[in-house]
Chain A
Amino acid sequence: MQLSGMGFGAMMLPNIPIVGNSVSPEALLEGGIDVALKKRLADAALNAAKSKGATYTDVRIGRYLRQFVITREDKVQNIVNTESYGVGVRVIANGCWGFAAVVDAKTEEDTARAAEEAVAIAKANARLMKQPVQLAPQKGYGEVSWKAPIERNSFEVPIKEKVDLLLGVNDAALKNGANYVNSVLFMVNEQKYFASSDGSYIDQDIHRIWPIFSVTTIDPKTGKFETRQALSAPVGMGYEYLQTNPKDKVTGITTRYNKGYDMLEDVISAAKQTKEKLAAKSVEAGKYDLVLDPSHLWLTIHESVGHPLELDRVLGYEANFAGTSFATLDKWQSKNFNYGSKEVNLFADKTQVGSLGAVGWDDEGVKTKQWDLVKEGTLVNYQAIRDQVHIIGEKESQGCCYADSWGSVQFQRMANVSLAAGKTPLSVSEMIKDVKKGIYIIGDGSFSIDQQRYNFQFGGQLYYEIKDGQIAGMLKDVAYQSNTQEFWNSCVKVCDERDYRLGGSFFDGKGQPQQVSAVSHGSSTARFNGVNVINTARKI
């Protein structure tokens, strides 16, 4: 929510959250701690916690590497390399959770001390507990590992290659008529080791990349300006995401991208489209049939499905910050709560290759999987972790526990939540052909939703008017407002799997103190009938 999608206005690009110590780019290539040493550090904590009376313990040894390359026009504004390393120990003692973390832990004494501290905190807080923690059983997996299937490690790509790419992108934008352009490459590598008293020792290597830009063009006569942001997606991939391949392109009114992103091609389109936007017709407010591209729909799914179906929100644990949820337990228990139309199948998933949420095991040692949330329109499940699943009658966790750092306590976070592709063959052009009065929206824009996830308003990057089955030109000043249940019930068609693509964000925020999480949302282009569109033009 708070940070999800992040409004990458031109002015906001350099404001990037930086976590960890600044290091040289070469330091990012140094191998982390050897896995045998990690096991020794973990065992020391597991043993220390047990001897102090813990009934359950998990240890997370994390090394988090991040690199940001930030440019505008012909200048490199900043290159940031950070590394953060430490160990977090979580225990249950006297029926209560306790957590302690230690930075730069390199010895068994360090991790044992953190474990002892965690037990002491658990025992102190146990007095405030109403009921003891009820943890779903989990089998141990022994010594196992998981690596994101990347082809080219982003951290091994020379800085010069990245700078040349971005400055080339900026140059292309300016040559095609833009007045200003900002571009950024974000790269993340999480090296995570998890061990628990259940007998798991899990070593995982996770990679993410997100290339973005924002192009601005000003009309000197009117003083108006328009922006267009990248149609890229943040992905769980290596630098190969930036290798362009014709099969990863979705052609149409503008090119969109699947598993490979042509940043240069996209910025040229963006520069031209900002000029087109300046001259576009201002939308007439009213009801329209909306055709929503996956580059746009991911954020609507995130806000109106992903968040309300997080069990901690449903129960009230986020009431003072992110809010609660309209999707209360009684609605789920009724087995007939009509979340959407029959066309709507929404699922949670922690396994999809290339997605931001994909891992082998979650941050409490649960093997990841896929499960249904809404089946043919009916609410069937939530997202829950080990200490919650008993509330929804499940015997095992769904595997969506995550902490954004070794120093943060893991808690329930959103899995990739996606709209299943339609089962009947249907292309985007076939879908548009049937629309009499509609708007085709590409890219994510302004987004806002209430604290129980009923009422929302979304904008986009590109809006095209659909008249009698034809695209009639570009529109501007468009935003649509709806209510979650009404909106998903207005879904009449979903294109087939040929059009299925992922969108997502690095910055989904939740909790106090706040933690961020990266999450993807997939869909094919979908049609929603009779949605209320407002005109956002104002005069000041």
Chain B
Amino acid sequence: MAILTKEEAKKIIDKVLAFSKADEMSVNLTGSRTGNIRYARNTVSTSGESYDLSLSVTAVYGKRSGTSTINEFDDKSLEKTVRRAEEIARLAPENPEYVPMLGPQTYLESNTFLQSTADINPEYRAKVAFDSIDPCRKKNLTAAGYLEDTTDFFAMGNSKGLFGYNKSTSVEFSVTVRSADGTGSGYVSRDFNDAAKLNAKASTEIAMQKAMASVSAKALEPGKYTVILEPTAALDLIQNMMRSIDARNADEGRSFLSKKGGGTRLGEKLFDERVTIYSDPTNIDIPKAGFSLDGRPQEKVTWVDKGVVKNMAYSRFWAQKQGVKAVPPPQGFIMTGGTQSLADLIKGTQKGILVTRLWYIRAVDPQTLLYTGLTRDGTFYIENGQIKYPVKNFRFNESPIIMLNNLEAMGVPARVNGSMIPPLKIRDFTFTSLSDAV
């Protein structure tokens, strides 16, 4: 019941819209089935599965809007929800930034749903936990991990004839493996639309290797180092930058994209010319819905082309005010890379630090996008093209803008948390102190 087909969803939405007395009405219908299993200390701690199906109605009178939600679907409940949304709208203050709803749109088709993930059951989850715990137990290592799988759909329609439907699946797996004495730790995370691509045993083995290799880390002086950021580490900082590409903040003068004296840095070369970042809902590795939650189509958008800022994200209100196309923020991005493997990048490094994961990243200065955080779960010293020994974790203070100007090399992009990102080799990465944490 929780996952409706396009036809079933449209039927309900049309029925709701027929009850409307408002100037404009939009309806969102979502359903999901999500399951998880969590383990720690080599034993399962919790597991569960839940279903949700929910309908949300927004009624608009002039510039006043109201929203009401329900999870019952008989005619009486649907009509009651419409009336309640209308009543809330009438009482709401006017929103001077309200933009009328969109009419019918054409959306790109994208294959976000995979049956292999929708078929996941408690036995599958228990097997993932077993495949992850068992090899650790045998090597006297301790595993703590989490698997979450989701099948969901999202449908939207409005009184102006817009309709969109998308069904998708996702599976996310992560595990931290620690040595018995707590002096070594390794981590791996994987996310896919297609559960058939997940190999929990092989993934856990990577975390096990990192845990064993990171035992007895040596302390290096903090300072500026050439670093190789594995994709998991690189993503965090670049993702933070991509979340800060809002045009309104830039126009208002409070963004890294704001220009001294007014205006923005759109069209300026801000990064090394090898940096290109785009989004594309039809990308086969990270497929996304062809539309945003507000109904705008998601298309292929180039955000940074050869180091030059090409696009910023707009709300519909701000785009209308500025008289430009209302490009929605991306749902994941692709940073193009090179052809080298991680091993090639290490081989080509005279002296440097391999960073496998970053942790507790927080903004320090929104103007320069300076972030602080720490390395975690396996940090290694590289000399003459080889990993020499594990090193203690560092705290860093660094800006992705500075980092992408100090680019030395990039490897083959990999999927991390719904985006594609290459391993990055960066010179003069700033470590400011040491941490005793393992």
Contact = CB atoms under 8 A, between A and B. Distances in A.
B363 A326 contact: no
A75 B45 CA distance: 47
Interface residues of A, number: 74
B144 A319 contact: yes
Given A22-B69, A130-B43, A538 B399 contact: yes
A24 B40 contact: no
A453 B91 CA distance: 48
Interface size of B as a range: 35 or more
A221 B262 CA distance: 9
Contacts of B260: 222-223
A452 B142 CA distance: 16
B193 interface: no
B344 interface: no
Contacts of A1: 360
A220 B92 CA distance: 36
A452 B360 CA distance: 12
B97 interface: yes
A459 B364 contact: yes
B326 interface: no
B178 A319 contact: yes
Interface string A54-87: 0000000000000000000001110100000000
A447 B124 CA distance: 39
A320 B144 contact: yes
Contacts, number: 200
B36 A538 contact: no
B374 to A, nearest CB: 5
A473 interface: no
Given A7-B363, A320-B175, A457 B372 contact: yes
A320 B259 contact: no
A455 B47 contact: no
B258 A21 contact: no
A317 B67 contact: no
Contacts of B145: 320
Interface string B77-121: 000000010011001110111000000000000000000000000
A76 B54 CA distance: 26
B102 to A, nearest CB: 20
Contacts of B362: 7, 446-448
B368 A540 contact: yes
A371 interface: no
Contacts of B60: none
B376 interface: yes
Contact of A451 (B249, B259, B359, B364): B359
A185 interface: no
Given A7-B362, A11-B249, A446-B363, A220 B254 contact: no
A114 to B, nearest CB: 12
A479 interface: yes
A312 B434 CA distance: 26
Contacts of A222: 260
B44 A128 contact: yes
Given A534-B397, A538-B365, 12 more contacts: A1-B360, A11-B249, A22-B68, A316-B144, A446-B362, A448-B360, A450-B360, A450-B376, A454-B435, A455-B393, A513-B36, A536-B397
Closest 5 CB pairs of A and B: A223-B260, A455-B435, A319-B144, A450-B437, A452-B437
18 contacts: A21-B71, A24-B87, A79-B92, A79-B93, A124-B122, A128-B44, A225-B366, A316-B40, A446-B364, A446-B372, A447-B362, A455-B433, A455-B435, A483-B436, A534-B397, A537-B365, A537-B368, A540-B270
